[in-house]
Amino acid sequence: MTKKIVIIGTGYSGIVLAHELLLHSNHQVQIFGLEENDGGLAYSSRDIHHLLNVSSEKMGFSNSEHGGFYEWVRTNIGTVPQFSPRYHFKQYLIDCFLKLIDQYPERLQIIRKSVHNLLRTKEGFWVVTKDNHKFFSTVCILATGNPPFTKIGLPGNDSIIENIYDPLAMNRIKSQDRVLIAGTSLSMVDALLTLHHTKHQGPIIAFSRRGLIPHTHDTLHTPALIDWSDLIGKSWIRIFERFKKEIKNHPDKDWRSILDSIRPYTQRLWYGLSPAQKMSFLRHLRPFWDTHRHRIAEEAHQTVSAMVESTQLKIKAARLIKIQGKDPCSVLLKPRGITAIHEYRVDWIINCLGPDIHACLNRPLMQNLIKNGLATASPTGIGLLTDPLGRVSENLYAVGPVCRASLWECIAVPDIRIQAEQIVKTINI
């Protein structure tokens, strides 16, 4: 039976879902999304120094085209680096999207509208757009991508750069200007790479509550063969204790090998945690997980390390107390572990706090789904409750970051590829 499938979102999640549906079914597919969002927030940077955190050979568009990105780079760019610029991956995604549109003109329709609500009917859903147009669908899939970045939130202060991927904003920084970076994770690395390659000479301070920065990839290691299934349903503390034990039990293995061995089990381990355990993990362990799990290319790590060694860059574990004035700003930070407040006078504050995982549920569509009883918010506040597949409710699915509350490890390309395949197989049953 031919179904009418609506996909909400034109980032990687939405595009790969469309590909799987068109390739493995006879269903009609409509994708809703504004053109400026094509390819997704994760790949929005145009700076060629901002690199992928997954090697080029693993970034194929789909499992049926596992080496597709590698071949695209070789054909269109030339030499294939181990970690390609994210901008090149976005170009590759757009090319794949355009090919789908050309290959399936009778089955694929792109609707450049923002979806704000779904209304359930006996046969399916009415998809309601922001301008109040309605479209019918049998099945809906939420592929809304990453939530927006956390805002520092001082309107009118021109010394704050909220979007590091806006070249016009970053180009305002002069060579000798004093810079403060809020956040020390992946977005900070992007900001530092931009400053480095524009020959910035001024002092830089980066801070976060724990002052942790991402570790680097080690291309020589391979995941250890460890069975973690006996810990499904156990607390994250038990899992962490086992992790430390396995490092001791495998002295010939790098810690990365042990951590990567968890990956095939991560979704089931997370799904088995209670809401209280998940919130405890987010509060206590998440900064350590993020910096160890989401690693960066060696090239990027060397640049950051050189900036630290030259004393141009200082990393601090501190909490923001207050921002006063502008041109320059007076910033008050409270270092971790002491009561004294330190003041820093800087010319620019760069927001590198990253996506606000708690903002996922603030979108009008999510609010309406919850209000209408079509979806349930997770007690953690970081997304919707789903089953292990990504099913939100009958004939309503979610893929990618919106599933983090239930699946946690579902934001990287390899994870989204697998989830998209599984959802399409279920729809076809």
Query: Which string of DSSP letters, residue by residue, matches 326-377?
Result: SSSEEEEEEETT----EEEEESEEEE---B-GGGGGGSHHHHHHHHTTS--B
Query: Which string of DSSP letters, residue by residue, matches 395-411?
Result: TEEE-GGGGHHHHSS--
Burial of 51 (0-12, 13-18, 19+ CB in 10 A): buried
pTM tops 0.75, yes or no: yes
Domains of the chain and any CATH numbers: 4-148+356-428 (3.50.50.60), 160-215+295-351 (3.50.50.60), 229-293 (no CATH)
Peptide bond into 287 cis (omega under 30): no
Q: What is the pLDDT along the chain (429 residues), one digit of tens a residue?
A: 889 999 999 999 999 999 999 999 999 999 999 988 888 888 989 999 999 999 999 898 887 777 899 999 999 999 999 999 999 999 999 999 999 999 999 999 999 999 999 999 999 999 999 999 999 999 999 999 999 888 887 777 889 999 999 989 999 999 999 999 999 999 999 999 999 999 999 999 999 999 999 999 987 778 899 999 999 999 999 999 999 999 999 999 999 999 999 999 999 999 999 999 999 999 999 999 999 999 999 999 999 999 999 999 999 999 999 999 888 999 999 999 999 999 999 999 999 999 999 899 999 999 999 999 999 999 999 999 999 999 999 999 999 999 999 999 999 999 999 999 999 999 987
Q: Which of 183, 152, 178, 201 is nearest to 316 (CA)?
A: 183
Reduced to 3 states (helix: H, G, I; strand: E, B; else coil), residue 318 is: strand
Reduced to 3 states (helix: H, G, I; strand: E, B; else coil), residue 264 is: helix
Reduced to 3 states (helix: H, G, I; strand: E, B; else coil), residue 118 is: strand
